């Protein structure tokens, strides 16, 4: 019994030490303001995806991360620091991106993140920079042609921490949703026959279908997914600067170029 | 306040579902990997050389690669190779059992082989068969040697069952991941997950100590 | 009772027994002596097939020991063996050590086996220790339990492999006393030992081995006073002058 209380005591002490340390780190970054922090470190640290074709994909040969998110992020670096190369990319997943932003590991999230009310409680968003819609990726010979074709037994794969799981549960309450660590794993599981369909934003699904022609993306979308750039809660100064950048890119036509370069067509 | 108790109270149902998954995974895998491990250990000590090689190859292969690779192989490789799709929970059980049984086999083998050779000779020379000698003389002594390492393996097994989350099989870790993506309160979410793991592992830990006291190592008759 | 005919044994590159010819008659006490590494333990361990011979013919109690088709456990029932390191089962009491084989192999009832065990424990002089564990006994007591265990199956032959080598000097005597008593009762015994006094007094025959070969075989009176072979003389002078 003595050992019990000793162990519980020790665990609590350990928990509080960790809490205290994390608390300090967090306060430091909040007090400073992101623009000041960026200028001090001489670069923006952007959280981006490394495994998403068309948006943020690391080319194993060159080691460079490429995609629409990357090009947008570089333009923000150019606006803040005058140099589009004054930027460091750090890999995030749907699961890690918000905690990393809050901890100050990254300065902004440019990682195909849908603006939602729930997330707005945790972080602030820029204006919309891309509008996607959730759809399904299915094998070419699948009989599923609409979300309505998903039967009760059908397993739908997606990644943890994304809005996709919630959306598909709302659209098809009976669906069995399996959530994997990231989309690469979910796609591998789909290829292995672990589910009938993979669901997320169509923009990502097109990238997967490009990689493996045995799969196709449904035409139909059942949500609107406005992507925004995530910044720390209350950092209005930085959010405003990002919005100005996005506006300029729209006005001078650069946005259309970037869009076309990756998505293969002009925005609607 | 860094630890938000609302994370626990609002998502208790999910934690409990996850806890149930982890308990089920641990119990089933514990039994299965003990049986499989004992069988592999027998292969390792059999006098028949080819069987020995099979046993040793099994142990060395599976205990020297990361569990997560075995898990992915079962999830993805098995369907691609055999056309049989295992549901994630079964995939997880298979991976965990295959992995843990390699360590258990090694612990049992070491236990049996650390019983002095003379014990087997004495038993055999009195007319006992190999199996009788194993049953009445070698194994009762080996069990005492094997309890501490086996206990460690069982503790590891409970913790390693968190591999289920990457297979999207519902265990404590998977539910914690999902809670995290709802609350974005990573710290609180996983602190409570850790507490639930401790609820499982600390009694187990004490159980092992009890067994160690219950079956103390017999002092050898030789110096 | 025991016949070695042209027995050879190899351990990989080592030729540990070379052309052994030896017969032991019923009721005979044969003591095997020789320098360490001479193959005497191996010789004894071949008799109940703890070691396989490589070639030659070995017949014990009418059974061809190196024939794979014989029921070796049947042969072993009739041969008791006592080891240098006692090899008592440490997790079992003295009584359980002795009754394990009678119950499991001979199918005796527990009561029957325990009654027989008490007779043997009485014979080796430690009936009062029946419920002790081996770790609670002295070396000499442990070895006497081991002898009682060897006797439990009413063997026709008793093998002793250096039974006193691991004992403290003061407990050697009690073990030799028990062995002497067994010899007087007419037990067939093969004993590997360095106890020359015991050999001289109890043995019907001495077998002297060196480098895997039987160098000399003689009655003790002759062997200890007038060994025929030079190597035996050398060995005796070294061991007796110690």
Which band of pLDDT confidence, cut at 50, 70 and 90, is reported for residue C5?
A: very high
Minimum distance, in Å, between the CA of residue A153 and any CA atom of chain B: 13
Which band of pLDDT confidence, cut at 50, 70 and 90, is reported for residue A25?
A: very low
User: What is the fold of A33-131+226-263?
Assistant: D-Maltodextrin-Binding Protein; domain 2 (3.40.190)
Q: Nearest-5° angle of CA C194, CA B125, CA C92?
A: 95
Sequence-separated contacts (24+) of A81-86 with Cβ below 8 Å:
A81/A38, A81/A39, A81/A42, A81/A43, A81/A44, A86/A42, A86/A43, A86/A44
* Number of A–B residue contacts, CB under 8 Å: 62
Q: Do C83 and B128 touch (CB under 8 A)?
A: no
The residue of chain B nearest to residue A101, with distances taken between CA atoms, is B184
At A51 the three-state DSSP class reads strand
Q: What is the mean pLDDT of residues A154-174?
A: 86
Identify the pLDDT of residue A27: 44
Higher pLDDT: B83 or A158? It is: A158
Q: Which of residues 46-105 of C touch B (CB under 8 A)?
A: 48, 50, 73-74, 76-77, 79-81, 83, 85-91, 100-101, 104-105
Q: What is the C-alpha separation between A47 and A123, in angstroms, rounded?
A: 14
Q: Do B177 and A179 touch (CB under 8 A)?
A: yes
Q: Which residues of B touch C82 (CB under 8 A)?
A: none
Nearest to C90 among B128, B132, B220 (CB): B220
Identify the pLDDT of residue B181: 77
Count the neighbouring beta carbons within 10 Å of the beta carbon of residue C224.
17
Taking Cα atoms as reference points, which of C71, C135, C123 lies closest to residue C97? C135
Q: What is the pLDDT of residues C209-226, one digit of tens each?
A: 999 999 999 999 999 988
Packed helices A254-263 and A236-252: angle between N→C axes, nearest 10 degrees: 80
Q: Which two tokens stand for residue A82?
A: 């005058």
The residue of chain B nearest to residue A17, with distances taken between CA atoms, is B2
Q: Which residues of B touch C154 (CB under 8 A)?
A: none
Beta-bridge partners for C60? C2, C63
Taking Cα atoms as reference points, which of A164, A155, A145, A167 lies closest to residue A220? A145
- State yes or no: pLDDT of C207 exceeds 50: yes
Q: What is the C-alpha separation between C27 and C15, in angstroms, rounded?
A: 31
Q: Tell me how far CA of residue A245 lies from CA of A66, A86, A240, A250, in angstroms.
A: 20, 16, 9, 9
Higher pLDDT: A133 or A18? It is: A133
Name the CATH code of domain A134-223 (choices 3.40.190.10, 1.10.490.10, 3.40.1790.10, 1.10.287.610). 3.40.190.10
Q: Which residues of B touch C142 (CB under 8 A)?
A: 221
Q: Any residues with CB less than 8 A from the CB of C203 and at least 6 apart, and which?
A: C29, C30, C31, C191, C220
- State yes or no: pLDDT of B30 exceeds 90: yes
Q: Which residues of B touch C106 (CB under 8 A)?
A: 127
Q: Where are the domains of chain B?
A: 5-214
Q: Do B127 and C134 touch (CB under 8 A)?
A: no
Length of chain B: 223
Q: Which two tokens stand for residue C63?
A: 């059974």
Which band of pLDDT confidence, cut at 50, 70 and 90, is reported for residue C145?
A: very high
Q: Do B127 and C152 touch (CB under 8 A)?
A: no
Sequence-separated contacts (24+) of B91-94 with Cβ below 8 Å:
B91/B167, B91/B169, B92/B25, B92/B161, B92/B163, B92/B164, B92/B167, B92/B169, B92/B171, B93/B25, B93/B28, B93/B29, B93/B32
**Neighbors of chain A with 3 or more C-beta pairs under 8 Å:** B
- State yes or no: pLDDT of B157 exceeds 90: yes
A112 in the Ramachandran plot: left (φ > 0), alpha (ψ -120 to 50) or beta? left
Q: Which residues of A touch B7 (CB under 8 A)?
A: none
Nearest to A160 among B85, B178, B191 (CB): B178
Identify the pLDDT of residue A52: 83
Of all residues in chain C, the percent with pLDDT exceeding 90 is 85
Name the CATH code of domain B5-214 (choices 3.40.109.10, 1.10.3720.10, 1.10.274.10, 3.40.50.2300). 1.10.3720.10
Minimum distance, in Å, between the CA of residue C15 and any CA atom of chain B: 23
Q: Which residues of A touch B190 (CB under 8 A)?
A: none
- What phi, psi does C159 have (nearest 5°)? -105, 135
Q: What is the pLDDT of residues C124-140, one digit of tens each?
A: 999 999 999 999 999 99
Handedness of CA B125, B131, B136, B141 (dihedral sign): positive
- Which residue is associated with the tokens 């075995």? B70
Q: Which residues of A touch B85 (CB under 8 A)?
A: 192-194
Nearest to B218 among C85, C91, C149 (CB): C91
Q: What is the C-alpha separation between A163 and A223, in angstroms, rounded?
A: 10
DSSP string, B60-94: HHHHTS-HHHHHHIIIIIHHHHHSPPPPHHHHHHH
Q: What is the pLDDT of residues B119-146, one digit of tens each?
A: 999 999 999 999 899 999 998 899 888 8
Q: What is the C-alpha separation between C200 and A197, in angstroms, rounded?
A: 92
Higher pLDDT: A206 or B103? It is: B103
At A50 the three-state DSSP class reads coil
The residue of chain C nearest to residue B129, with distances taken between CA atoms, is C73
Packed helices B172-183 and B12-45: angle between N→C axes, nearest 10 degrees: 150
* Contact in structure between B145 and B218 (CB atoms under 8 Å): no
Identify the pLDDT of residue A196: 92
Q: What is the pLDDT of residues A95-116, one digit of tens each?
A: 889 999 998 999 999 999 999 9
Nearest to B127 among C89, C134, C153 (CB): C153
Q: Do C87 and B116 touch (CB under 8 A)?
A: yes
Q: Which two tokens stand for residue A140?
A: 């070419």
Identify the pLDDT of residue B219: 54
Taking Cα atoms as reference points, which of B35, B55, B216, B44 lies closest to residue B113? B44
Pairing of the two strands C29-33 and C205-210: parallel
Q: What is the mean pLDDT of residues C188-193?
A: 95
Of all residues in chain A, the percent with pLDDT exceeding 70 is 88
Of all residues in chain A, the percent with pLDDT exceeding 90 is 47
* Contact in structure between B200 and B26 (CB atoms under 8 Å): yes
Count the neighbouring beta carbons within 10 Å of the beta carbon of residue B64.
8
Q: Do C85 and B118 touch (CB under 8 A)?
A: yes
At B126 the three-state DSSP class reads coil
Which stretches of B89-205 are assigned E, i.e. beta strand?
A: none
Minimum distance, in Å, between the CA of residue B125 and any CA atom of chain A: 48
Q: Tell me how far CA of residue A229 lies from CA of A97, A105, A186, B184, C21, in angstroms.
A: 11, 16, 24, 17, 95
Residue C155 DSSP symbol: -
Count the neighbouring beta carbons within 10 Å of the beta carbon of residue C154.
12
Candidates A17, A192, A233, partner chain B, best to mutate (most B CBs within 10 A): A192
């Amino acid at each position: 019994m003595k050992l019990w209380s000793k162990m519980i005591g020790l665990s609590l002490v350990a928990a509080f030490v960790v809490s205290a340390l994390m608390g300090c780190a967090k306060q430091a970054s909040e007090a400073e303001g992101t623009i000041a922090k960026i200028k001090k470190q001489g670069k923006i640290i952007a959280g981006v995806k490394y495994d998403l074709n068309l948006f943020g994909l690391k080319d194993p040969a060159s080691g460079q991360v490429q995609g629409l998110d990357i090009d947008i992020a570089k333009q923000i670096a150019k606006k803040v620091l005058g140099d589009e190369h004054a930027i460091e990319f750090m890999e995030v997943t749907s699961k890690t991106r918000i905690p990393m932003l809050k901890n100050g590991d990254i300065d902004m999230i440019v990682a195909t993140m849908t603006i939602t009310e729930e997330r707005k409680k945790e972080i602030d968003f820029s204006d919309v920079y891309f509008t996607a819609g959730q759809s399904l990726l299915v094998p070419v010979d699948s009989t599923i042609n609409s979300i309505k074709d998903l039967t009760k037994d059908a397993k739908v794969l997606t990644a943890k921490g994304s809005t996709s799981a919630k959306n598909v549960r709302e659209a098809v309450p009976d669906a069995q949703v399996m959530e994997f660590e990231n989309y690469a794993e979910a796609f591998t599981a789909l290829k292995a026959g672990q589910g009938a369909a993979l669901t997320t934003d169509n923009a990502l699904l097109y990238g997967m279908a490009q990689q493996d022609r045995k799969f196709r993306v449904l035409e139909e979308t059942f949500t609107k997914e406005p992507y925004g750039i995530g910044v720390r809660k209350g950092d209005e100064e930085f959010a405003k600067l990002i919005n100005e950048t996005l506006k300029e890119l729209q006005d001078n036509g650069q946005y259309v170029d970037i869009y076309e370069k990756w998505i293969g067509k002009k925005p609607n | 306040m860094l630890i938000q108790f609302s994370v626990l109270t609002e998502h208790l149902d999910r934690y409990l579902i996850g806890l149930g998954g982890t308990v089920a995974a641990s119990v089933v895998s514990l039994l299965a990997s003990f049986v499989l491990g004992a069988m592999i250990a027998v292969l390792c000590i059999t006098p028949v050389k080819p069987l020995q090689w099979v046993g040793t190859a099994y142990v060395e292969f599976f205990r020297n690669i990361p569990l997560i690779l075995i898990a992915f192989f079962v999830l993805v490789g098995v369907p691609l190779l055999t056309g049989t799709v295992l549901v994630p929970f079964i995939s997880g059980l298979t991976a965990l059992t295959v992995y843990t049984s390699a360590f258990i086999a090694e612990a049992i083998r070491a236990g049996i082989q650390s019983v002095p050779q003379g014990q087997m000779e004495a038993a055999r020379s009195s007319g006992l068969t190999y199996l009788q000698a194993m049953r009445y003389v070698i194994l009762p002594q080996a069990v005492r040697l094997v309890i501490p390492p086996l206990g460690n393996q069982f503790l590891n097994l409970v913790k390693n069952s968190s591999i289920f989350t990457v297979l999207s099989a519902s265990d404590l870790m998977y539910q914690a991941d999902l809670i995290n993506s709802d609350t974005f309160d990573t710290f609180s979410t996983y602190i409570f997950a850790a507490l639930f793991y401790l609820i499982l592992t600390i009694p187990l830990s004490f159980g092992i100590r009890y067994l160690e006291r219950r079956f103390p190592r017999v002092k050898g008759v030789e110096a | 009772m025991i016949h070695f005919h042209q027995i050879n044994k190899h351990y990989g590159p080592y030729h540990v027994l070379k052309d052994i010819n030896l017969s032991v008659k019923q009721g005979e006490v044969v003591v095997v002596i020789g320098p360490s590494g001479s193959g005497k333990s191996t010789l004894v361990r071949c008799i109940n097939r703890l070691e396989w011979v490589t070639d030659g013919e070995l017949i014990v109690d009418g059974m061809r020991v190196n024939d794979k088709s014989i029921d070796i456990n049947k042969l072993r029932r009739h041969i008791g063996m006592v080891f240098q390191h006692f090899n008592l089962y440490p997790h079992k009491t003295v009584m359980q050590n002795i009754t394990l084989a009678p119950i499991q192999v001979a199918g005796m009832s527990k009561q029957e086996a325990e009654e027989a065990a008490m007779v043997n424990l009485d014979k080796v002089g430690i009936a009062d220790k029946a419920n002790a564990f081996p770790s609670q006994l002295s070396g000499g007591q442990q070895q006497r339990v081991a002898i009682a265990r060897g006797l439990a199956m009413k063997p026709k032959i008793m093998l002793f492999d250096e039974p006193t080598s691991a004992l403290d000097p003061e407990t050697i005597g009690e073990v030799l006393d028990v062995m002497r008593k067994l010899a007087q009762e007419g037990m067939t015994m093969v004993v590997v030992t360095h106890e020359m006094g015991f050999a001289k007094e109890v043995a019907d025959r001495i077998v002297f081995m060196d480098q895997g070969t039987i160098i000399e075989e003689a009655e003790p009176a002759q062997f200890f006073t007038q060994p025929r072979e030079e190597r035996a003389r050398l060995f005796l002078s070294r061991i007796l002058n110690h």
